[in-house]
Amino acid sequence: MNTQIITQRESRLNNRAKQQLMTRYLVGEVKSTPKTIRPELSDKPEKQKKYKSSGIIPFNQRKEFSEYLFKANKVSDEYYTRGHTWARFITDYGLKGATIFEPFYGDGTSREALAGLVNVVGKAGDFWDNINAPDCPQEYIMTNPPFSFKWLVIQTFLEKRRPFAMIMPWQTFYKSCLNRLNDYAEHYGGSWTKYKLNSKEQKFWSPEKQEMVGIGCSILVWTF
């Protein structure tokens, strides 16, 4: 058989395997990416080995588990939202000029990105400490969390019965995850909808690449 044909076939198989792996990662079935970082992950919390990030995990165990997941997927998690991603959603939901809570406030980048659209409140610091603080803002939540522990964040918002709009990868709305979302609705209450983003709205800033990167996303909207 022609060597070039064999090479092309192997390339297609490798690409297919990569796509399948990425899909499994985004729906929460794969917790780490490059194999080179696996030796550094020996500190995975012993109690969490029986859990998937999508499982119902007690609040007091989520911080430690999320740190493990973020460490495993840090490169994939570092994409920052710009105002154009939220602009149409803000108009359609009547949030123009409203005060919203951004729990992943970080260094204030999200506040700058949304300037002129909404008033962003939040503070620097650890998400798990801030969301559980007595002075946690009670405004509507809009956020783009690290995808590696997105299910832990969703569980936390739902336990606190906080309505939210959260940027999620397309795979969150695949059949297996739809069942999970529906199970959450039955367990916690409320209802969810999917707000589709256009190609321009699916552009995020990558500090690593120093450029805008397209990522297939929609907005998960949860109401009570």
Whether domain 77-223 has CATH 3.40.50.150: the reply is yes
Token representation of residue 35: 């194999």
Among left, alpha and beta (phi > 0; psi -120 to 50; other), residue 139 is beta
**How far apart are alpha carbons 202 and 213 in whole angstroms?**
8
pLDDT digits (tens, 9 = 90+) for 166-194: 999 999 999 878 999 999 999 999 999 99
- pLDDT confidence bin for 34, thresholds 50/70/90: very low
The percentage of residues in the chain with a pLDDT greater than 70, rounded to a whole number, is 75
- pLDDT confidence bin for 48, thresholds 50/70/90: very low
Beta carbons within 10 angstroms of residue 95's beta carbon: 17
Identify whether the C-beta of residue 190 lies closer than 8 Å to the C-beta of residue 223.
yes
Q: At residue 122, what is the residue type?
A: G
- pLDDT confidence bin for 35, thresholds 50/70/90: very low
pLDDT digits (tens, 9 = 90+) for 84-130: 999 999 999 999 999 999 999 988 888 899 999 999 999 999 999 99
